Amino acid sequence: MESNVTATLLDGAPRVRRPRGLVTEIVESLAASIRAGQLQPGDKLPTEAEIMARFDVSRTVVRESISKLQASGLVETRHGIGTFVIENRDAGNFKIAAADFATVADVISVLELRISLETEAAGLAAQRRTTENLEAMATALRAFQDSIHADSDAVPPDFQFHMEVARATGNRHFADLMTYLGTMIIPRTRVNTPQSAPEGRLSYLQRVNSEHENIYNAIRSQDAEAARAAMRTHLSNSRERLRRGQAFEPANPPATS
């Protein structure tokens, strides 16, 4: 399993190298996989050498990344053996777990939280986005469209688009929160909205992607107010679609990104 986990976590598209962001890049990648359930408590992380090779970074960067994961209570290092995922035993910390998505009302509650946070994130992204940020968002949009035609639920590219907006704020706490929440914040991981939508799956997902494109266009134009409005409209529409009585289905394991 360890080799499969390593491939899942570390393979992917070429990354833009950000001198000050290498540690964050590794932490986000590993933490996202832990939050999404790709790595379970007790699983061993890839070795330092494997992480160094895959991310093309120094041992110092890898060790600092592992230290940050340890400080977050996600992993522990057993000297001479390796680094392992652990249960987060600090129940006093803020958390949103899979159990908090047991009903449609729960999913709506998280959407309301996202409306307040991601609306402002979109505005900041419009003010601060870089060419690289725009390229990453455009890649997520294309992946979403490809997923629609591949008969997929398009959850991974959906989450990736929202993650890229968070990164474009230039404020790491937005991205850290998105990493923490993971793909389970996408309502389709808990409620079968595409199949139960009156217009049908294809039209439903195309409408979602069109809403994403509106957000992207506003951010690209550096129109902060339009970006906020587009994000608020997108998430509010998701909330209203749920409120109109979509049938709840038993929760599935969160999709991976």
Domain end residue (candidates: 39, 64, 85) = 85
The CA-atom distances, in angstroms, between 156 and each of 41, 48, 77 are: 22, 27, 30
Residues 10 and 50 in one domain: yes
Tens of each residue's pLDDT in the chain, 257 residues: 444 455 445 554 444 444 447 888 888 888 888 887 888 889 999 999 999 998 999 999 999 889 888 877 889 888 888 899 987 655 445 667 666 666 778 888 889 999 999 999 999 999 999 999 999 999 999 999 999 888 888 888 999 999 999 999 999 899 988 888 887 788 877 666 555 556 677 888 999 999 999 999 999 999 999 999 999 999 999 898 888 754 444 444 333 33
Residues 182 and 137 in one domain: yes
Joined tokens for residue 11: 């393979």
Asked if residues 187 and 236 have their Cβ atoms less than 8 Å apart, the reply is no
- Rounded distance between C-alpha atoms, residue 65 and residue 63, angstroms: 5
Residues 126 and 234 in one domain: yes
For residue 183, is it within any domain?
A: yes
Q: What is the largest CA-CA distance in the chain?
A: 57
